[in-house]
Amino acid sequence: MLHLQICQGTTCYVMGAAQLASLAAQLPEDLRGRVRVTGCRCLGLCRDGAFGGAPYVTIDGEVLAAATIDSILAALRARLQEAHP
């Protein structure tokens, strides 16, 4: 099971994480049961002017910057593909 963490820190929330929260409830069928979606406190990735990359998410610890629903789904599918080609 992959672990998708959506940063809920203020920077990420303002920059678009609020719109990513719906992913938890509305995972596409092919990903259901294969991905665990959780929110997390500020990961600190936005500090020192790096806020241009927000919202940040991590998939099994690997950081994805400027995350959108599309880019998250693509990254999740690529990982599952790698694991079970």
Partner 1 sequence: MRLHNESDRVKREVLARVARALFAEKPEALDRIPLQMRPKGQPFSRCCLYKDRAALRYRVMAALGFRGEDETDELRPLAAYAAAVPTRTRNPEPFISILTEGCSACLESQTTVTNLCRSCLARPCVGNCPKQAVHVKNGRAEIDRERCVNCGLCAKACAFHAIVQVPLACADACPVDAVGKTADGLVAIDHGKCIRCGRCQAACPFGAIMACSQMADVILKIKRGRRVIALPAPALAGIFPNDPAKLTGALLKLGFAAVYDVAAGADETARREAAELTERLRAGAAFMTTSCCPAWAETVRRHLPGLAGYVSHTPSPMRLAAEMARADHPDAVLVFIGPCAAKRTEATFYGDPDHVLTAEELGAMLIAADIDVDACDPAAPTRAGSRAGLRFAVSGGVAAAVGAHLPDSGAPKPYVISGLSPKTIRLLATFAKTGKAPGQLVEVMCCEGGCAAGPCSFEEPARAAARITAQAAG
In the complex, the residues that contact partner 1 under the rule CB under 8 A are: 8-11, 13-16, 18-22, 41-42, 46-49, 51-52, 54, 66, 68-69
Taking the complex as a whole, how short is the minimal distance between the CB of residue 74 and partner 1, in angstroms?
A: 14
- Shorter beta-carbon distance to partner 1: residue 20 or 59: 20
DSSP per residue, 11-79: HHIIIIIHHHTHHHH---GGGTTTEEEEEES--STTTTTGGGGPSPEEETTEEESS--HHHHHHHHHHH
- Shorter beta-carbon distance to partner 1: residue 35 or 43: 43
Taking the complex as a whole, how short is the minimal distance between the CB of residue 61 and partner 1, in angstroms?
A: 20
